[in-house]
Each structure stands twice: as structure tokens, then as C-alpha cells.
Structure 1
Amino acid sequence: MNYNRKDYTDDDLLALYKAILKPRMIEERMLVLLRQGKVSKWFSGIGQEAVSVGSAMALDADEYILPLHRNLGVFTSRNIPLDKLFAQFQGKKTGFTKGRDRSFHFGSKEHHIVGMISHLGPQLAVGDGIALADLLDRKEKVTLVFSGDGGASEGDFHEALNVAAVWGLPVIFIVENNGYGLSTPNSEQFKFRNFIDKGPAYGIDALQIDGNNIVEVYHTVRQAAISIRKNPRPMLIEALTFRMRGHEETSSTKYVPQELFEKWSKKDPVETFESYLLEELVLTPKVMNAIKEEIRAEIEDGLQKAFEVPMPEADRQEELGDMYQPFNQEVVSPASGATSEKRYVDAISDGLRQSMERFPELVLMGQDIAEYGGVFKVTEGFVNQFGKDRVRNTPLCESAIVGIGLGMSVRNKKSMVEMQFADFVTSGFNQIVNNLAKSHYRWGQHADVVIRMPTGAGAAAGPFHSQSNEAWFFHTPGLKVVYPSSPYDAKGLLNAAIEDPNPVMFFEHKLLYRSVSQEIPDDYYTIEIGKARLVAEGTDFSIITYGMGVHWAKQVLQEMPEISADVLDLRSLLPWDKEAVRNTVANTGRVIVLHEDTMTGGIGGEIAAWIGENCFELLDGPVMRVASLDTAVPFAPPLEQEFLPKQRLREKVEAILAY
């Protein structure tokens, strides 16, 4: 190993030595505890410590790092208390996730570390988001995010690097190339020669370093950070290294040729650096032993404290409450009585514009939303008023943009992400249900992101521009789901969603954009999320619905003036208003649940089940459901009309009256 100390002092080198020695000694202790059954799982970074430690030591303490499985050295270099770290490994309440997640699946805002999820790649976009927030605030900061060579095969890797390049984000992407993705060698992962070959393709600088040489890692990252702070841009660094143990400790290493172990054991980052310092007389055996004894004592003290903490006792209310960032919404009334008639689309645009004025930290992101104003023209003219820093066209990369929203939340910014069509959300699904939804529950980081979802059928747009997919998110704790049916509700609920620090899926039916209008307040106002609205009152039966279903229900009642019915517009689907549902059931005793989504697995099934379980004594008949056919949304208008539940609603009304 060729160590070049450059102009670093003895104290600098000793600091690096102490920093790289600590994670190695912790790992050696953890492997013993694992065999004793006192730690449930372990992902070893032995052999790769120089990448983590050198990178972390090279940054300022308030610059964010997004580590992965083998980056213990990031946590120790940021001086995380070992008792809390060990409590995390043991699933104790005093760990960073209160026993809810394991190993390195956690973050710490105090230490400027963002926790990973098992899907690996999504963290790269979160790093982009933190870097974007710093760029917008004119902070001279850099963000560093790790990827393995295997994880770099994911689409998130491409999306994150591409957006960072296009937007000139101050982020360092470090690829730890250890030759294997679990057991799959690089020859079966990709055909290019080196990861640095990707840099020119994205238009970003790329460097390759010896990942086992801590001085080289430290110096390279330090110089890169200094340069990026002054000239914001992304950089790709490939660190060549090797994993000396299995993917995790129950995995074997039989798939690795023995000669590779022999080669890389001679490049052990801890042993070679220790030998170099002894040869250079920077380190003496006496000092070395004293350092090791000090670290050993710190480890044992941390373990003792962690072992003394009992395993957590489940508290149902705490578990449920921690799914969301605490937020007590205060409903805002219009400042004046001025009103004007606005279409649904205008109401959404109005609310979005007033929220931009009210929250200078709010940034809008989406495909074609800037000069073009979005395909539905919701943000037309916004660039002239707010500028392109805050109204940002994005590449076609839904996953990256949602992840960027989470990263911006880390820096206390708000994001609105527009899905061009709700159907396209599948490309960002993982970020929403696994990152945004779970982040606060796992380690207390809220996701202040609103995702606008132009949804619904009826325009002969076929299977990929017409889906109703709200049920996918209704099933996901940690999200809020809102679906207004009127211009008044659309503006008030959108403003409320943007105020809320939790992730909100905001559904807007495309056919309502220009087909309904209403006199609404000109001023900013909000509506309480989670409260339904009774839009019609009657005694014969109740229709519980939302979105376009509200208008279908009202039309049927107009066509059948001899009947009277409650029409309850849920407006919010998660949480939904159980009290209002109970009240309408008590009023009429007969219920139809209507929605545009397909029948099987739709939200109506949950509502019907809840009524049957909680309101059975109030019912005079079975709860009936009306929904779209269990098919994809067809293109041809006659097929689409048969798919939709509108015609079947009248038949169900006649059936419930006859029951």
C-alpha cells in the first residue's frame, strides 16, 4: 500500500488512525456477540472501513451523509454515542428507531446522517434533495451518498445521477466497488469496465481511488468537497475495495475465489495504515496500545449500558401515533368575504399559488410544469411569478423526484410533486410507500411532500392514463390521502395538505378540472383533513362516496326525484371520517358505498366492513357496493362506459329501495 501523507500533520494521521480503528474493533466485538445470540444480524464492513471513515472525516460535521450497510465508520466518525448505537443493534427502545428497525436502517438529524432503507438505490435521490435545498439556500455545503456496485444496477442510481447533473447539485456519489452484489460478481452485474466510465455520459466529474487507502480517500473527498462548495456540481467517486466477510454473517463466502482473499488481505486498510504509522514513527507501540485500550473501554462501557436497557414494551398508542409527524391543524378562514367563480382546475391553481406565497420554502417539481404550465395548465404563469428555482421542470424520473422531496424535508423545505398522470406514480411507488410513509415512524424524520395525482377515467384515454389507484396508498400507514370533488374543497384541502408536514397523496379527477365550477373565496383558506361533508340529505338510504362518485350520486338523485338520500362526500380517505359515516348510517339504515376504482380491493370494501362491524345494529339491510369492473380501463368509449359504475349505480339504488 502506497501511503502519501502529503502535507498532513502527525495529529491529522493519528486522528484518521483512531477513526478507522474504532469500527474495526466494534465489528470484532459484534461478531462475538452475534455468535452469542446477543445481536440478531450483522452486515460486516471489515476490509472497507477506509471508504466510510475517510469520507466522513473529510466533510464538515453539519454536512449530510447517507450511508448503507457497510458504513459503520460513518456513524463512529460522527461520534454517535456507542450505548445508543448498540441499543439500536439490539432493538432496544433507546436506539435510534425505538426497536422498529435494525442495524444501520436509521438516521440521526443531530449527527447529519440519513438512514437507509433495504432497497438501497432510493437513498441517492434523497441525497439529491438535501443538496438541492442547500443550493437553493445558497449554503456552501456538500452532501455525500453511498452506493454499492450491486445497488448501482437499480434505476434509482441512474435517475439520481441524471437529475444531479442536470440541476448542478452539490452531491458526491461514492460507489463502493467491492466486486460483488451479495454473491453476484460484477461480471454478471454490468458490462462496462469501471464506474468512472459513467461520469462523462452524465456530464459529471468522475474519479477512481484506492478504497483501502484511508489517506487517499480522505484527501480525495476533502478536495472534492472544497471544490464543490465553491462550484456546486455533482461528482462520482469509485472506491475500489473488497468485502472480507459474507454479505451478512449467516452468508458464506464460498463463491469468492480464495486468491482474492489472499490478495486483499495484504491490503487490509487498518493493518496497513497501522504499519505505515509505526514505520513513520507517527505511532509508537505504547501509544497504539493506549489508543486500543481506550476504544476497548469505550466499547465495553457502551455495551454494558445497552445491555442494561430492557427490551421494549409495546405501547399501541405510541406505535400508532409515531406513524405521523404530530400536527394539530388550525383551520384558516378567508380573510375577507370576497369570492369569485372558479373551475376545479382554477381552484387548485389558486391554492397552489397562494401556498407558494405563504410558504417561501415550498418548491414545485414535475414534468413540464414550468414554462409549459403542466399538461393541465395548473401551474401556467408560475415561473414568471416565482422563478425556476421554485418551479422546476424535471426529467422523466418519478422515483428521483419523490426522493428529492424527502431530502428537502430533511432541510426543512416543503415540496409539491406533480405526477403528470396518477398512473405514472408506479415509477415512484417505492419511494412513496417505503421511504416517505415510513420515515417518521422509523427515525423521526417527517416527509413534507404533497404528491398531486391527476386521476380517473371517462376521457377515452385508455389503460395508462385513466386508472384510479387511491387504494394502493389508502393501505399504507404514514401517508395521508385526500380526494376533493368540488372547487371549494379542492382549494381548501390542497392548502391544508401543503401545510401538513406529513406526506399527502392529493387526487384530482381530470374530468372535473373544467366541467365543474363554484363560487369560492378569493383569499387563502383551509379545510380540515379527515372530515367528510354531507352534500345531500335524505331518509331513504345513504350513498358514501368521493371524487367523481359525488357527482354521479347527485345526478341519480336528480333523475329520481321521488327518493331522498344522504350523499356523504368523504373528501379525505386516509384518515377517513368514521363519525360522519356512523351518523349517516344511523340516519337512513341503508348504505351504498360508491367509488370509481375497481371493486376488488377498493376502499369501499374497507368502509363496508367497518360499517358491518361497528354499525350493525343501525342497519336495515346489507351494505351494498358499486364500483368499476375488475378490468383494466378500456380505451373505446362504449367499453369505458360499461367499465365505469355510473350505470350500475341506478340499478343498485333500485335494489336497495326494494330490499
Structure 2
Amino acid sequence: MKPEISPNILFNYDRKDLDNETLKMLYRGMLKPRMIEEKMLILLRQGKVSKWFSGIGQEAISVGITAVLDKDEYILPMHRNLAVFTMRDIPLHRLFSQWQGKANGFTKGRDRSFHFGTQEFHIVGMISHLGPQFGVADGIALANKLKNNNKVCAVFTGEGGTSEGDIHEALNVASVWQLPVLFCVENNGYGLSTPTNEQYNCENIADRGRGYGMESHIIEGNNILEVYRALKELVESMRENPRPILLEFKTFRMRGHEEASGTKYVPPALIDEWGLRDPLHNFESYLLAEGLISEEEIETYRNEFKLEIDENLEIAFNEPKIESTVEQEVADVYQQFTPVEIQPNGEVENIRFIDAISQGLKQSMERHNNLVIMGQDVAEYGGVFKITEGFVDVFGKERVRNTPICESAIVSAGMGLSINGYKTVVEMQFADFVSSGFNPIVNHLAKSHYRWGQNADVVVRMPCGAGVGAGPFHSQTNEAWFTHTPGLKVVYPAFPYDAKGLLASAIEDPNPVMYFEHKALYRSIRQDVPMGYYTIPLGKAALLREGNDISIITYGAGVHWALEALEEMKDLNCDLIDLRTLVPLDVQTIYESVKKTGKVLILQEDSLFGGIASDISSLIMEKCFEYLDAPVKRVASLETPIPFAAALEANYLPKEKFKKDLRELMSY
């Protein structure tokens, strides 16, 4: 399917000092993905691939950027950046297997299209939520800056994606931290069917650079030489003077958002106009007109690529359909990790819960030179609870980083840091504020290892809980949002000893961990804690009291409510289980206790419906039903937001209800 050569060359191709081989490399770089796409469109109609997002007409951008970056510099592409993958010389049969959902692809059939990454080729694929991609690029660039390796990374989005809040957050962070990122916006005129005049109200996206305090440029995205020359100069400059740059590429997509959507919403005259600006056809005409390439060479290239495409398609087609087992699927949710338990030794000191967290965090910073702490006011101020007070003096501002108020971008940056070899602790000022960073936690951190084998080495610290008169926006204990999300681990200690050891384990673990710290315990609970570094395995509950009458299962502040109640009710003979870790959950300890006592009360501070107590209750009913002497009892806070006034808050929390229900269950 050889394209007609346009009689008119619509671009001013200024080759300057570029040699013939470079010009041919750029031409071949555009020709190969174009031929793959043409083949994919045929296969799509034949039902041999399920979906296709076309980049026809936009190849010059991907080719130019990839050509100027080193092979070990990360690129974060989108749907329409096939040339990024081909320019990085990924074997085509692996791409074809990916698109057919086969095992030789990059996601074991678990995701499609370009929703994948590969460390081998330093490519980090997109997620459909678009915006977090910029934040991930921030994290990768921050790691490069910390390594002082003079590396640059490039990230793509479309003009529609720039309307997302994550994009604004990430651009702001990059500017404040002067991160070496090329933020590449492919402005093709339409976000699916919505034109740019309904997406933003400035003349050019690049105009926003001034607002971010960031250098920005507009580049003719269909002129391969303009793209290549501009990017080459900018990248060389960024390596010497690390900084972010916002680039707006004016271009057009000749196909629909994806093939099923078509292009009926685009005026035919506009398609015709941009068809004349085709980057491949124009550059081919230029090379022929200048005598830099011959028709015979073009035919040779096309035959070479056709053979490569056909041979690799044959490999992919002959690959068997993917098969898997429940065990294989579950095993890939987390990166496999065998912790080495470090026993406490040496002196102990009687310290508060908050001091134990601070001490554990500081010792982890000393142990892991690649650990970075990020959060609002965590540097000189020491955080709103003063947990990181003095850390800057010891570890410096590079590793203890104040962040703008942008939870989503910072969580995404933690993902990027992990991709580029760093550990991260992100402090949410209050657990309630995690809602502003929810998207990258549940869609990036939680899913990346299952999707393409990339772990997210991020701990999110969550100061949580009621009882301190902080009202509806500073008091939630929202662990159920995350226990429901496969791929996250959830830790919730009740004592200083556990808080220190479990935090160390959470940081050691290469998987994402939501680490809950109850604010009411910070300064009210003291305990003898070893002064040295030690770990406590995740997924191991603590049996605090033993008895035969009833099993009380709880965690966090609920542990202390239960202890207070049992001190009053001397006649009760109970097992008291402090879960400590909610994911993974120590079901063995739960089942053994239930089988012994026959009665169960599960206490949580969170409101009842949809909480983890419900799931534990279901597990007990399924696994221990024949041992039960009474229905499983759940006790939780009211089904309301958390009120401010002391009397209202006391009525909200289940402390008194717990005692009453405990007595009733005992007499059942």
C-alpha cells in the first residue's frame, strides 16, 4: 500500500548539518510504524486484534523524541506513540503478542494495547486515567536528579489530558523542583470528539508554561526535522542545566480516537487539509526531490519492513492462547518478597507511639540510602505532628522533601521513584486527604506489578482516627477503601513497639503499603521499645490476652478500648487479638481463636457497613461455622460522618456500645 507522493512539500525542511544517514534513519523511523498500523487496521477488520488507537499522522513526534534520547532514558508514551516502541527496537512479535493478549507480550494478557511498561527498554506505559503519567515522570526525573546522572525523561499526553488536575499538579511540582522532564503534549485538535475550544480557553497549551514558571515551546509536530532538531538542542541543554520544559506539538490524527469511534465529527475539509501535511509523505517527497533517497531504496525499505512484520506476526499467531491458574494470577498481585526478620536487641526506652514512628522512620532512612520522604511541611517544620522534626539536618532536603499541596502528583512521583530505583515514604498530612491522591494509589501503585511486573516501593503514612475533636475532615479511619484494593498492603498498629517494627517492615517491603497511625494514640500510649533497628513481619496478629469464653478481634484504637473494657469486666475470660496488619490478614490466628471460644466480637472504629469487620465476619462464617455458639457480632461507629463537638464524637464512637454488646454476646 504505497502512498502517493504529494506534488507539494508543505514544510520547510532545514537539514543544516544533519548527514544523510540521520535523514534516512528518521524516514525509516516513521515508515515502520506506519506500515505496522496499516497492517493492524486490516487485522482489526478481520477480528485478529481487538482494538486499535491510531497514530497515523503523528509519527514524527514519537520518532524525533525517541531518536534524541539515550536508550537508558525513560519515555512514558501514550496510545498513539507506536514509534517510541519501534524506535527502541522492541521485537515486533512481542508487540503483536501484547496486542493479542498472549503470554509473550508484556502483561501476560492482563492488559491491552500500550498499557504496559518494560524496564528492558526503559518505557513506562500509560493508564487510561492519563493524568498520573506526568506525576510518574516527575518521580523518574527526581531519581535521575538524585543520582546526578544528567539523564532526561520524556512523557506524552494529548491536549485533552491537559485538562486533568493531575497534569497541573505534576507540572507545578516539576517546576518547583526543577526536574528534567520533557512534557510533550500532542495537540491533535480533538479529545476523542471534543474539539480544543471546548477543552481549554487559551490560545496555545504552551502558553501555560509562563504560569508554571516553566520554559515552553510550540513545535510543528508533522515536520520531522523541526521536531528532531528542536528536541536535540533542548535535551542537550537539559542535561547541562536540568529543568522541565513544556512542549506543544501541533499535529492531527487521521483516524478516530480509536477505530470504532470513526471521524464523523471532524469536518471533511479539515481532514483533507491535514492529509496534505502528512509527516511521512512530505518528508519522503523532500528526500526524493533533494536526491537524498531513491525510489528503489524506498521500495527496499518497504519490502524489508513487510517481511519483518509478516514474520513476526506469524510468530505471534502461532503462539498458543494464554492459559493461567488461580495460583498464578494471585501470585503476581505482589512482588514476591521474603523478609529477613531482624530481632530487637540492646537497650529499651519508654517512649510514646509518635516517638516510635519517628525513630523507626529515621532508622530506616539511615538503613536505606535510596529512601526519600515526601509530604506537606515534612522538612524544616517536621510535619504537623513533628514526626520528621530534625530530619533535614541529618538527611538533607533532597531526601526529606516538602511538597506542594498536591497529593495525587506526589503519590505518582513515588511510583516514578520506584521505577527508577528508589524507595518512598509519602506522608498524608491527615488520612482524610488521601482522597485527593486516590487515583494513583488504587490504579498505579496497586495494579502495576500485576499488570507488567513493576513493583511500587511506596509507603503511604496515614495519620487517622477520631477522639481528638478534629471533625469530619481530619478524623476518618478509612482503611476499608484500601483493604478492598488488591495489590496494596494495609498496616494498622496499636502500640509503640509494633508501630516501629511494622513501619520498618513496610519500608523494607517492595510493595505499596498503606500505613495507618491513629492520632489519638500518638501521645497517649507509651511502651518500652528497643532503641535499635528491628522488624516485625507483616501479616502476623498479636494475641494480647487468652481466654476461652469469647474472641475479641480488633486493631488500632479499638485494641485500647477493648483493654479498658476488660479491665472493668474482670469476670470475662477472652482472647484479645490485635490484627496489626489488615492486608495480609492473619486468618490462622483468627480461626484458631474462634474454634476455641465459639463466640466472636469484631470491633472497628470505622462505620459498620462495608468495613473490614464485615469481611472477617464472612470468613469466620465460611470457615468456622460449625464451631460457633452464637452469631458473629460486629461493633462499629455510627453511620454518619465524624462530628466535631466532644459529646457528639463520644456518641459517634463505639466504646460504650462495645461494652454493652460484649455483655450481650457473653450471655447469648
Paired residue type of 2:604: H
* Equivalences for residues 192-341 of structure 1 within 5 A: 192-334=202-344, 336-341=345-350
Indicate which of 64, 68, 75 corresponds to 1:54. Answer: 64
Paired residue type of 1:48: Q
1:595 alignment partner, SS class? strand
Query: What are the Cα deviations for residues 112-153 of structure 1, in whole angstroms up to 9, with x where unaligned?
Result: 000110001101000000000010011110010011000000
Paired residue type of 1:545: T
Give the distance between the partners of 1:21 and 1:112, measured in 2 at CA.
Answer: 23
1:443 aligns with 2:452: yes
Alignment correspondent of 2:5: none
Alignment correspondent of 1:114: 124
Q: What is the CA-CA distance between 1:348 and the residue it aligns to? A: 0.2
Alignment correspondent of 2:93: 83
Alignment correspondent of 1:601: 610
1:472 aligns with 2:481: yes
1:380 alignment partner, SS class? coil
Q: What is the CA-CA distance between 1:652 and the residue it aligns to? A: 0.7
Give the distance between the partners of 1:156 and 1:283, measured in 2 at CA.
Answer: 45
Paired residue type of 2:320: P
Q: What is the CA-CA distance between 1:314 and the residue it aligns to? A: 2.1
Q: What is the CA-CA distance between 1:282 and the residue it aligns to? A: 1.1
Alignment correspondent of 1:582: 591
Paired residue type of 1:274: E
Q: What is the CA-CA distance between 1:587 and the residue it aligns to? A: 1.9
1:165 aligns with 2:175: yes
Paired residue type of 2:79: H
Paired residue type of 2:173: V
Indicate which of 70, 75, 91 corresponds to 1:65. Answer: 75
Alignment correspondent of 1:376: 385
Give the distance between the partners of 2:505 and 2:616, measured in 1 at CA.
Answer: 24
Alignment correspondent of 1:427: 436
Indicate which of 402, 418, 429 corresponds to 2:427. Answer: 418
Give the distance between the partners of 1:563 and 1:379, measured in 2 at CA.
Answer: 42
Query: What are the Cα deviations for residues 587-631 of structure 1, in whole angstroms up to 9, with x where unaligned?
Result: 211000000011000000000000000011111111000001111
Give the distance between the partners of 1:266 and 1:450, measured in 2 at CA.
Answer: 51
2:247 alignment partner, SS class? strand
Give aligned-pair identity as a percent.
Answer: 61
2:259 alignment partner, SS class? coil
Paired residue type of 1:123: Q
1:250 alignment partner, SS class? helix
2:144 alignment partner, SS class? helix
1:373 alignment partner, SS class? coil
Q: What is the CA-CA distance between 1:583 and the residue it aligns to? A: 1.1
Paired residue type of 1:157: I
1:492 aligns with 2:501: yes
Paired residue type of 2:377: D
Alignment correspondent of 2:370: 361
* Equivalences for residues 93-132 of structure 1 within 5 A: 93-132=103-142
Indicate which of 612, 624, 645 corresponds to 1:615. Answer: 624
Give the distance between the partners of 2:504 and 2:70, measured in 1 at CA.
Answer: 37
Alignment correspondent of 1:15: 25
**How many residues of Structure 1 are paired with residues of Structure 2 in the alignment?**
658
Give the distance between the partners of 1:548 and 1:320, measured in 2 at CA.
Answer: 31
Alignment correspondent of 1:407: 416
Give the distance between the partners of 1:122 and 1:412, measured in 2 at CA.
Answer: 19
1:566 aligns with 2:575: yes
Q: What is the CA-CA distance between 1:219 and the residue it aligns to? A: 1.2
Alignment correspondent of 1:552: 561
Query: What are the Cα deviations for residues 480-530 of structure 1, in whole angstroms up to 9, with x where unaligned?
Result: 000000000000000000000000000000000000000010000000000
Alignment correspondent of 1:541: 550
Give the distance between the partners of 1:657 and 1:196, measured in 2 at CA.
Answer: 69
Indicate which of 639, 642, 646 corresponds to 1:633. Answer: 642
Indicate which of 337, 346, 357 corresponds to 1:348. Answer: 357
Give the TM-score normalised by structure 2.
0.98
Q: What is the CA-CA distance between 1:337 and the residue it aligns to? A: 2.5
Paired residue type of 1:655: E
Paired residue type of 2:502: L
Give the distance between the partners of 2:79 and 2:646, measured in 1 at CA.
Answer: 51
Give the distance between the partners of 1:6 and 1:173, measured in 2 at CA.
Answer: 26
Give the distance between the partners of 1:463 and 1:282, measured in 2 at CA.
Answer: 70
Give the distance between the partners of 1:574 and 1:6, measured in 2 at CA.
Answer: 60
Query: What are the Cα deviations for residues 40-96 of structure 1, in whole angstroms up to 9, with x where unaligned?
Result: 000011111111111111111110000011111111110000000000000001100
Give the distance between the partners of 1:631 and 1:6, measured in 2 at CA.
Answer: 69
Query: What are the Cα deviations for residues 227-276 of structure 1, in whole angstroms up to 9, with x where unaligned?
Result: 00110000011000001111001002111111111110010011111111
1:651 aligns with 2:651: no
2:35 alignment partner, SS class? helix
Alignment correspondent of 2:402: 393
Instruction: Note the aligned Cα RMSD (angstroms).
Output: 0.6
Give the distance between the partners of 1:420 and 1:82, measured in 2 at CA.
Answer: 46
* Equivalences for residues 139-158 of structure 1 within 5 A: 139-158=149-168
Alignment correspondent of 2:6: none
Give the distance between the partners of 2:430 and 2:224, measured in 1 at CA.
Answer: 48
Alignment correspondent of 2:521: 512
Give the distance between the partners of 2:440 and 2:342, measured in 1 at CA.
Answer: 31
Q: What is the CA-CA distance between 1:26 and the residue it aligns to? A: 0.3
Alignment correspondent of 2:4: none
Give the distance between the partners of 1:504 and 1:620, measured in 2 at CA.
Answer: 36
Give the distance between the partners of 2:623 and 2:140, measured in 1 at CA.
Answer: 45
Give the distance between the partners of 2:501 and 2:155, measured in 1 at CA.
Answer: 38
Paired residue type of 2:542: R
1:615 alignment partner, SS class? helix
Give the distance between the partners of 2:519 and 2:460, measured in 1 at CA.
Answer: 15
Query: What are the Cα deviations for residues 527-578 of structure 1, in whole angstroms up to 9, with x where unaligned?
Result: 0000000011112101100000100010110111111211100000011001
Give the distance between the partners of 1:121 and 1:538, measured in 2 at CA.
Answer: 53
Paired residue type of 1:587: K
2:618 alignment partner, SS class? helix
Give the distance between the partners of 1:337 and 1:111, measured in 2 at CA.
Answer: 47
Give the distance between the partners of 2:325 and 2:569, measured in 1 at CA.
Answer: 51
Query: What are the Cα deviations for residues 278-315 of structure 1, in whole angstroms up to 9, with x where unaligned?
Result: 11111100111000100111100110000001111121
Q: What is the CA-CA distance between 1:195 and the residue it aligns to? A: 1.0
Indicate which of 576, 580, 591 corresponds to 2:600. Answer: 591
Give the distance between the partners of 1:254 and 1:642, measured in 2 at CA.
Answer: 59
1:456 aligns with 2:465: yes
1:534 alignment partner, SS class? strand
Paired residue type of 1:646: K
Alignment correspondent of 2:8: none
Runs of 4+, deviation exceeding 3 Å? none
Give the distance between the partners of 2:433 and 2:232, measured in 1 at CA.
Answer: 39
Paired residue type of 2:62: S
Give the distance between the partners of 2:81 and 2:474, measured in 1 at CA.
Answer: 42
1:543 alignment partner, SS class? strand
Give the distance between the partners of 2:87 and 2:360, measured in 1 at CA.
Answer: 45
Give the distance between the partners of 2:459 and 2:497, measured in 1 at CA.
Answer: 19
Q: What is the CA-CA distance between 1:3 and the residue it aligns to? A: 1.1
Structure 1: segments with no counterpart, 5+ residues: none
